[in-house]
Structures are given as C-alpha cells and as structure tokens.
C-alpha cells in the first residue's frame, strides 16, 4: 500500500513538472531544456526555506515560485528577442550552469554530498505532513490546482494570444501585442511550476543532491511531454503516467534491475520515435498546426 502511495506522490510531482514544460513547449511554442534546473532551484530554495524558517506551505510555495520565475527571466531577456533556436540553446546553457553550481558550490549546497534531514511541509503553519499518506493526498491537491491553473490559462484570452503567436508572431506584433512579453510570462509560469514540483520533491524525499536535476532529467521531462502529448493537460498526465508507471511494471514482471534499467531507456526512446511517426501530437496531445 505504501509503495503504491509512493508511486502516486511521484506521479503527482511529475505531472506538475511536465505541465510546467508544457507551458513553454505547448503553449508558447518554445523548446526548453532546463526544466530540471528550475526543478532543482525550487528544491534547493525550498529546502533552505524549510530548514531556516517555520513557514506554512503556501508562503514557501509562493516564494519558491517567484524566485524560480525570476531565474527564468535571465534566459528570457537574453534570448527571447532572438529566434526560437537561440532560446533553446540558452536554456541548455542555463541547465549546465545551474547543475555545475549545485554540484560545486559546496558551502551552500553541500555539493555531491547532498542535503539531508529536510523538514516536512507544514500546512497552515501547524499541521506537519508525516508519512506517505498525507503526502499522497497533499501532492494530489497541489497537482489538481496546477492542472486547474493550466486549463484556465489555456482557455483564457492569454492562451489564445499564445496560440496566435505560434501561428504568426509577425502578424500578432502588427496587431499591437507585445509577443516577447507574452512568451516571457509563459516561461516564468513554466519555471514556477517546476519550482513547486522541486519543493514538493525535496520535502517528501527529505534528501536532495544535484543528480536529480541534470540535463538528462530535463530531456526526460521533455520526452515524457512529447510522448504524452503537447498542448493540453491530458497529454501531460498521460506522459507522467507512462514514465512513472513503466519502470514499476518492468519491476513487477520480475526483470532484474540490470536488465530493467536499460530496457526502460530503450522503451522510452522507442516510444518517442514511434509516437513521432504514428501520432506526432503525442498520445493525447493536440495537433500543433501552424
């Protein structure tokens, strides 16, 4: 039972992460390769706040999302005015820099040793989450809130503006819209989502080290997004289900770890290739027509 709930917690965290990536990829039409960096920033900032201050979750979540968001602005201002390819390159650079800092700034992050003994989240400042049951429920609530925000944004005039930009940015500019600002905001939200996922992860696992926030992890998130489908919440949920459940299934059918791990990678890779051939929009995603 606890094992099952543990999977649920991971699933919820991954849904938030993939939704975050979807804000940038699906809504703003930009490819990001640094979602794990935001995830890590959220985890480390969240950890420091949890260890230093006795604050309720909502306050910590707000601070974490704002700080992670502000990091995203660095990339936006450096690159959004340029072409989209440069944006992707900038996110790649950012991912590498953040990982290096997390790994090497030992005084603050404890580097490769990681930080342990992270306190649990407190709701309303009193009720401390202990054990897997409350975490399963709580992460599910946060995940639902994030899905709600994503859907509301997608349906709003803001979502329409982003879709219009994907179709024809030049025309949208000529209609008097600041398209860079619109994309910057989407990326900000994308970072904030990932930051919150990082906060949840750190306080749930109670130990973090830089290896959870690598470029590989960023690629993994993007793969999950594309497998599940880009552009809507359904797709992100499907993607998270696929990448979180698959390893467990492989373990369940009794494959030894030495086989299961590489097999998993191969299945992800194959899934990506097959999906791009058969259903470029992903399992449940939307057609990203021009």
Partner 1 sequence: MKLELQDIRLTFSNSRKGDFHLLQGVNLAVSEGEITAIVGGNGTGKTTLFNIISGFITDYQGKVLIDGKDIRPLPTYKRAQAGIGRLFQGTQLMGNLTLMENMKMASVDTMGEHPISPFIAWKSIRTHEYQKEQRAIDIINKLFGSDSKYLSMLDQKASALSYGEQRLIGIARLLMGESKILLLDEPTSGVNPVYIKTIADIIRKLVEEQHMTVLLIEHNMNFVKSLATNCAYLDNGKIMQYGQTEQVLNDEGVKNSYLGV
108 binds partner 1 (CB under 8 A): no
Measure the CA–CA gap between 188 and 242, rounded to whole angstroms.
26
Measure the CA–CA gap between 74 and 78, rounded to whole angstroms.
6
Q: Segment near partner 1 (CB under 8 A), from 30-38, 42-50, 94-102, 185-193?
A: 185-193
Q: Could you give the 3-state DSSP secondary structure of residue 34?
A: coil
Cβ contact 125:55 at 8 Å:
yes
Q: Which is nearer to partner 1, 97 or 175 (CB)?
A: 175
Sign of the Cα pseudo-torsion (121, 193, 208, 244, in order): positive
290 binds partner 1 (CB under 8 A): yes
Contacts of 196 (CB under 8 A, 6+ apart): 16, 42, 61, 64, 65, 142, 146
Q: Segment near partner 1 (CB under 8 A), from 49-57, 114-122, 166-174, 196-204?
A: 166-174
Q: Tell the residue number behind the tokens 């649920």, with chain if given.
A: 8
Q: How many residues bind partner 1 (CB under 8 A)?
A: 30
Q: Could you give the 3-state DSSP secondary structure of residue 157?
A: helix
Contacts of 32 (CB under 8 A, 6+ apart): 21, 24, 25, 87, 88, 91, 187, 190, 218, 222
175 binds partner 1 (CB under 8 A): yes
Q: Could you give the 3-state DSSP secondary structure of residue 181?
A: helix
Smallest gap from residue 194 Cβ to partner 1 (A): 16
Which of 109, 118, 163, 283 touches partner 1 (CB under 8 A)?
Answer: 163
> Where in the chain does DSSP place strands (E)?
115-116, 122-123, 127-128, 207-208
Which of 42, 115, 185, 271 touches partner 1 (CB under 8 A)?
Answer: 185
289 binds partner 1 (CB under 8 A): yes
Smallest gap from residue 141 Cβ to partner 1 (A): 17
Q: Which is nearer to partner 1, 176 or 254 (CB)?
A: 176
179 binds partner 1 (CB under 8 A): yes
186 binds partner 1 (CB under 8 A): yes
Smallest gap from residue 99 Cβ to partner 1 (A): 28
166 binds partner 1 (CB under 8 A): yes
Q: Could you give the 3-state DSSP secondary structure of residue 193?
A: helix
Which of 160, 257, 259, 269 touches partner 1 (CB under 8 A)?
Answer: 160
52 binds partner 1 (CB under 8 A): no
Q: Segment near partner 1 (CB under 8 A), from 40-48, 98-106, 149-157, 198-206?
A: 149-157
Measure the CA–CA gap between 69 and 55, rounded to whole angstroms.
20
Measure the CA–CA gap between 120 and 70, rounded to whole angstroms.
25
Q: Segment near partner 1 (CB under 8 A), from 117-125, 164-172, 197-205, 253-261?
A: 164-172
172 binds partner 1 (CB under 8 A): yes
Work out the end-to-end distance of the chain between its first and last CA atoms, rounded to an integer number of angstroms.
46
Q: Which residues bind partner 1 (CB under 8 A)?
A: 149, 152-153, 155-158, 160-161, 163-164, 166-168, 170-179, 182, 185-186, 189, 289-290
């Amino acid at each position: 039972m606890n094992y099952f709930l543990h999977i649920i917690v991971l699933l919820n965290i991954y849904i938030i992460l993939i939704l975050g990536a979807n804000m940038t990829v699906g809504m703003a039409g930009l490819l990001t390769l640094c979602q794990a960096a935001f995830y890590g920033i959220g985890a480390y900032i969240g950890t420091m706040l949890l260890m230093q201050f006795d604050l309720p979750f909502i306050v910590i979540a707000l601070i974490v999302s704002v700080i992670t968001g502000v990091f995203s602005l660095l990339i936006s201002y450096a690159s959004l005015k340029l072409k989209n390819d440069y944006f992707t390159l900038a996110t790649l650079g950012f991912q590498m820099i953040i990982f290096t800092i997390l790994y090497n700034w030992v005084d603050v992050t404890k580097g490769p040793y990681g930080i342990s003994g992270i306190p649990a989240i407190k709701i309303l400042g009193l009720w401390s989450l202990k054990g897997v049951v409350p975490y399963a429920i709580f992460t599910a609530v946060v995940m639902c809130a994030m899905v709600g925000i994503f859907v509301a944004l997608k349906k709003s005039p803001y979502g329409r503006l982003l879709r219009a930009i994907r179709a024809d940015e030049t025309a949208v500019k000529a209609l008097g819209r600041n398209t860079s600002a619109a994309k910057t905001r989407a990326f900000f939200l994308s970072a904030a989502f990932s930051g919150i996922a990082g906060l949840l992860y750190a306080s749930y696992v109670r130990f973090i080290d830089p290896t959870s926030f690598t470029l590989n992890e960023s690629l993994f998130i993007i793969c999950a997004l594309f497998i599940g489908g880009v552009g809507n919440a359904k797709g992100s949920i499907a993607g998270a289900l696929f990448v979180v459940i698959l390893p467990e299934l492989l373990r369940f059918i009794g494959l030894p770890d030495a086989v299961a791990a590489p097999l998993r990678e191969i299945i992800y890779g194959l899934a990506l290739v097959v999906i791009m051939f058969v259903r470029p929009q992903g399992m449940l995603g939307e057609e990203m027509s021009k």
